[in-house]
Amino acid sequence: MDLQKIATYGSAAAVVSTGAVVGGISAIDNASGGPEKRMQAEATELRQIVKEEVRAALLEAWPQSTGPVIGTPPPKKDYRQNTPSR
């Protein structure tokens, strides 16, 4: 055999074996639920990103303090002893 045929057959064998390995890996991946696992992982990652963004937006929009709050004044009378008239 000459060198050209050896090189041709060698490269053909390499291509076929590479295709078999890649095809086998793909078949194993599909059989073990690889695409579903990747979709679930992507959805989980997206939920985490959205959660962080929403939390940051709420913290940014919410005021740190509500300012001076004026409540009701304390009663001047003891209403247990004296009730107001109606």
Domain boundaries, the chain: 1-31, 33-62
Angstrom distance (rounded) from CA 69 to CA 65: 10
What is the CA angle 30-39-45, rounded to 5? 145
Choice between 48 and 84, residue whose per-residue pLDDT is larger: 48
* Global pTM value: 0.43
Residue with tokens 């003891």, as numbered in its chain: 78
The burial of 10, by beta-carbon neighbours within 10 Å (0-12 exposed, 13-18 middle, 19 or more buried), is given as exposed
- For 1-40, write each residue's pLDDT tens digit: 676 766 776 676 666 666 666 666 677 777 787 788 888 8
45-80 pLDDT, tens digit per residue, is 999 999 999 999 998 888 777 777 777 888 787 777
Tally the residues of the chain. 86
